[in-house]
Amino acid sequence: MINRTILVGRLTRDPELRYTTSGAAVATFTVAVNRQFTNQQGEREADFISCVIWRKAAENFSNFTHKGSLVGVDGRIQTRNYENQQGQRVYVTEVVVENFSLLETKAQSQNHNNGAPSFDNNQQANAPQSSSANDNPFGNANDNANAGSSSANSNANDPFANNGEPIDISDDDLPF
């Protein structure tokens, strides 16, 4: 049997962190997940999914998220029932979260809550800009204009260095 759920959405309220009588942390929250289509009025609807997370993960989730946070959760669907104070049977369906991911930075999350425009997945807030086109984050001596003689010696020993000479491969060396 397979029971696996992955949700990406925003929290509708701050997570509610509580502790059981045995001391286990449990947090409950609701994730608003947009539907892929619009209704007849052209508005996008959302589903509000109840979730529960346990133990240390619940404490971490509560500490690092708040209303409006964009999160990804991975877990399983669980149904349970109980009898309320009026004697009525109440049925609950919820996602028991096993893993979660914070999908935006703290600054982006705060900007979203303040009504400031948020960045999409292709933009980065406060991303450092390269100072020149010759910058190489990997420090490869071939691409660095300021490479000294010590890096030239290391290139002689590097079998993958491009020194301008053709590679000598015989047909016997090829696997096909």
Q: Is residue 172 part of a domain?
A: no
Percent of the chain with pLDDT over 70: 64
59-90 pLDDT tens trace: 999 999 999 999 999 999 999 999 999 999 99
* Lowest mean per-residue pLDDT among 97-106, 110-119, 158-167: 110-119
Q: Is residue 27 part of a domain?
A: yes
| AA identity, residue 78 | Q
What number of other Cβ atoms are within 10 A of residue 52's Cβ?
19
Q: Is residue 150 part of a domain?
A: no
Higher pLDDT, 86 or 133: 86
Q: Is residue 106 part of a domain?
A: yes
Query: What tokens does 140 get?
Result: 């490869």
62: part of which helix (H) or strand (E)? helix 55-64
Percent of the chain with pLDDT over 90: 51
| pLDDT exceeds 60 at position 169 | yes
Mean per-residue pLDDT over the chain, rounded: 77
* Lowest mean per-residue pLDDT among 32-36, 41-45, 113-117, 126-130: 126-130
What pLDDT does 139 receive? 45
Say how far apart CA 129 and CA 120 lie, in whole Å. Answer: 18
Q: Is residue 135 part of a domain?
A: no
Q: Is residue 138 part of a domain?
A: no
| pLDDT exceeds 80 at position 152 | no
Overall domain count for the chain = 1
* Average pLDDT of the segment spanning 118-124: 42
4-26 pLDDT tens trace: 999 999 999 999 999 999 999 99
Say how far apart CA 102 and CA 100 lie, in whole Å. Answer: 7
By residue range, what is the domain housing residue 93?
A: 5-113
Which CATH number is 47's domain given? 2.40.50.140
What pLDDT does 171 receive? 73
Higher pLDDT, 89 or 148: 89
What's this model's pTM, rounded to 2 decimal places?
0.61
Q: Are 74 and 100 in contact (CB under 8 A)?
A: yes
